[in-house]
Amino acid sequence: MGEKKLGKKIFEYLDYREFLKDYYNAKKEANPAFSLRVFSDKIGFKAKDFISRVMNGDKNLSSASIPKVASGLRLGKHETEFFIGLVKFNQAETMDERNAAFEEMQAALKVVRFSEKQHILGHAQYMVYSHWRHLIIRSLIGMFGFDGDYEALAKMVHPHVTADEAKKSVKLLEDCELIKKGDDGKYVLTESAISTGNRTSKLALRGFHQHCLKLAADSIDRDPPGSRHVSGLTLGISQEGYERIVERINAFRKEIALIAEEDKNSDKVFQLQFALFPVGGK
């Protein structure tokens, strides 16, 4: 018999005990042999009645047991972050603790909402990433709209491109359904955010990053210090340290994307690159 899934996602709950009850009932309905003993073993508790007492509100989860439960339930990264905040929210003893926990829940939820509404580029991704100007022009259209004046659009790109190049970018973005022309003749974005997804061509991204890194290098001479920021570190690290840094960079990149999405006064397009690469070693 197939595994029965919850009708609601964990992000829809405001009570972790209700979530645990629904999880248990769904498992029990799918497999009558799924007992409280099996449930307790699954999430790492020896006492078979402990999880029942937690679900009934007679016991709380300790800080050490919360991630263990999340792991036992096979929650994803953001689900786990939300679950931890949810438990804190329900078990908080003061209003300040409850408010802080709620902020943790909202932070996890914000990332999920951002990810779920992103438009994943499809078959035309290689062309979209073939030149840096395409996504910059898309962002400019999102900020200021576009009425068909390619000369004016080209002048907003920094460094400048030709009107013909701007026209080709608009045509490509329209073909990829990343922008659309309204009844009033003006172009708008079809989605507020885009993501490369998991299947983006490595060759496409390689060329895109090469273009953007060259833009960054040229920016040192082209742009005044007050309008660009360039900094770096030379580090001695292990492979484990490298992986930890990459994980933090990925998390920070998402945080930056959220800041940009919430910025209602945006009037410029910036390109932000992260680069971590070997320059010496055995």
Structure token pair of residue 15 = 């009570």
pTM above 0.85, yes or no: no
Q: Is 224 within a domain?
A: no
Q: Look at the chain and report how many structural domains it folds into.
A: 1
User: What distance in Å separates the CA atoms of residue 12 and residue 102, rounded to the nearest whole number?
Assistant: 13
Task: Report pLDDT digits (tens) over 32-71.
Answer: 998 888 888 888 787 778 888 899 999 999 998 898 899 8
Task: Report pLDDT digits (tens) over 135-164.
Answer: 999 999 999 999 999 999 999 999 889 999
- Its domain, for residue 94, covers 10-114
Q: Is 214 within a domain?
A: no
* Residue 201 pLDDT > 90: no
What's the mean pLDDT when you consider all of the chain? 86
Lowest mean pLDDT among 80-89, 95-104, 105-114, 171-180: 105-114
User: What distance in Å separates the CA atoms of residue 200 and residue 41, rounded to the nearest whole number?
Assistant: 40
Of all residues in the chain, what percent carry a pLDDT higher than 90? 45
Q: Is 69 within a domain?
A: yes
User: What distance in Å separates the CA atoms of residue 15 and residue 5, rounded to the nearest whole number?
Assistant: 18
Q: Is 157 within a domain?
A: no
Query: What distances in angstroms separate CA 243 from CA 185, 240, 259, one per listed residue?
Result: 48, 5, 25
* Residue 212 pLDDT > 90: no
Contact 167, 180 (CB under 8 A): no
